[in-house]
């Protein structure tokens, strides 16, 4: 108590502190550029979210004044809204944030940072989602890296936003009935009747990967001293290639439909990235990856869509989940020890996906479950078995996060080291312990219950 009294006596009463004392502390946003403090407010326009299942939610608009169709999904992420909105896996989707306030730290410049030229600061060069729904949009922002507000950013990329709605009710609805087609209507459109069922646009029927992928091949870190790694771009997040480049790799990014088998012997490893939509839309790529697996003996790593493509190539089935997993707090249980991953440990991961690999009675020969989701028992990873002689990892989550936890970031180090090692020496990507006992998928489900 004495210490507390002394502490209190050392702190001046707020009524004795002048306004100038607070002014001298300054804002997180640099005052040296006064334009950053001149907040541009959105016009006062009504907006509405109409769902194909018949529900409508009314509020106010921000960002673009153009109405848009999309697939309505929710994310439980609390931070990093700029990373989520620039993630190509959200292409064609109306993104509902469960966090009550979005936009309070503004939006930073997307110019590449020193040391990783050619890679944007955020997860792609633009906003990828079709629309944004938030409970409370922050019209004023404060952050030392911010250059514009969320409203200004959305307006610049023609992305409409809806605020002033109960996102808890929307999230509960989507969780119970599943991801739902929707329309974000702005202005006069908001007061008009909701679209008819046949008018809603379903992005899953399109090849979204073709829309998100690069059109031409390009190379990052050409003077690097590390291994040469080929990347098949299905809608690649910037932090994937950034994580490879930071570990010294020379990275060549190819379009989604490029025939890697024609140049595979020029590379030390293959990386399959994340991407939007249904993996069955790119079965031709899965068939080519199957050929690569059968004929090539170098390391392969797939994330998210890349993981699903590996699964299809291995003979597993991909299915559409009810509402998917989107957030930064998904727990996964490791079922095998490989590299930095230890069997029996739970890792907290960042995820963004609607589709998953089905857990079958028995895994295909040469494969074993690598991770399983602790919440819904969905397959979170696959691994080639030691008997197969292959070095292949597939994970449904994002080890590179951006945003989210970094529990599994060292998988990138393991992969790059494995590509550098070539055929010689001990392999970091071959499982040295499979906790579920062979390929028994039921044992994987039972492991979650333990």
Q: Is 398 assigned a catalytic role?
A: yes
* Residue appearing with tokens 């004929």: 295
Tell me which of 148, 398, 418, 419 is the catalytic residue: 398
Q: Is 374 assigned a catalytic role?
A: no
Half-sphere exposure of 297 (CA within 13 A, CB side): 8
Structure tokens at 322: 């009810």
Tell me which of 353, 400, 418, 419 is the catalytic residue: 400
Q: Is 307 assigned a catalytic role?
A: no
Provide the residue count of the chain: 450
> What separation in angstroms does the CA of 328 have from each of 75, 83, 179, 226, 310?
9, 12, 19, 30, 23
Tell me which of 129, 154, 236, 304 is the catalytic residue: 304
- Active-site amino acid positions: 304, 398, 400
């Amino acid at each position: 108590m004495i210490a507390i009294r002394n502490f209190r006596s050392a702190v001046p009463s707020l009524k004795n502190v002048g306004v100038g004392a607070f002014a001298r502390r300054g804002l997180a946003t640099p005052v040296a550029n006064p334009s950053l403090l001149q907040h541009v407010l959105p016009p006062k326009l009504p907006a509405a979210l109409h769902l194909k299942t018949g529900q409508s939610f009314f509020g106010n608009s921000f960002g673009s004044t153009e109405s848009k169709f999309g697939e309505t999904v929710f994310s439980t992420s609390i931070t990093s809204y700029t990373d989520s909105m620039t993630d190509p896996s959200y292409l064609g989707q109306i993104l509902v944030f469960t966090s009550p306030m979005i936009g309070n730290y503004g939006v930073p410049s997307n110019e590449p940072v020193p040391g990783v030229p050619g890679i944007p600061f955020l997860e792609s060069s633009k906003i990828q989602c079709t629309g944004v729904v938030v409970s409370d949009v922050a019209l004023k922002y404060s952050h030392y890296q911010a250059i514009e507000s969320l409203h200004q950013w959305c307006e610049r990329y023609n992305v409409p936003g809806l605020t002033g709605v109960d996102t808890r009710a929307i999230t509960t609805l989507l969780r119970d009935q599943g991801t739902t087609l929707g329309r974000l209507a702005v202005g006069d459109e908001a007061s008009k009747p909701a679209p008819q069922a046949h008018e809603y646009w379903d992005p899953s029927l399109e090849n979204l990967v073709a829309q998100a992928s690069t059109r031409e091949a390009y190379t990052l870190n050409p003077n690097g001293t590390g291994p040469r790694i080929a990347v098949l771009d299905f809608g690649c997040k910037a932090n994937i290639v950034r994580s490879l480049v930071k570990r010294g790799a020379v990275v060549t990014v190819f379009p989604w439909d490029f025939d890697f088998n024609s140049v595979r012997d020029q590379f030390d490893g293959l990386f399959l990235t994340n991407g939007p939509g249904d993996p069955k839309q790119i079965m031709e790529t899965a068939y080519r990856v199957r050929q690569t697996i059968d004929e090539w003996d170098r390391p392969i790593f797939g994330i998210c869509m890349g993981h699903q493509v590996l699964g299809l190539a291995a003979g597993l089935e991909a299915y559409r989940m009810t509402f998917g997993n989107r957030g930064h707090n998904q727990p996964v249980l490791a079922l095998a020890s490989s590299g930095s991953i230890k069997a029996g440990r739970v890792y907290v991961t960042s995820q963004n996906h609607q589709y998953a690999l089905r857990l079958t009675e028995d895994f295909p020969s040469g494969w074993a479950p690598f991770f399983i989701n602790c919440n819904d028992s969905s397959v979170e990873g696959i691994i080639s078995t030691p008997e197969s002689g292959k070095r292949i990892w597939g994970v449904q989550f994002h080890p590179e996060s951006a945003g989210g936890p970094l529990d599994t970031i060292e998988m990138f180090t393991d992969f790059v080291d494995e590509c550098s090692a070539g055929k010689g020496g001990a392999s970091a990507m071959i499982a040295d312990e499979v906790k579920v006992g062979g390929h028994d998928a039921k044992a994987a489900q039972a492991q979650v219950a333990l």
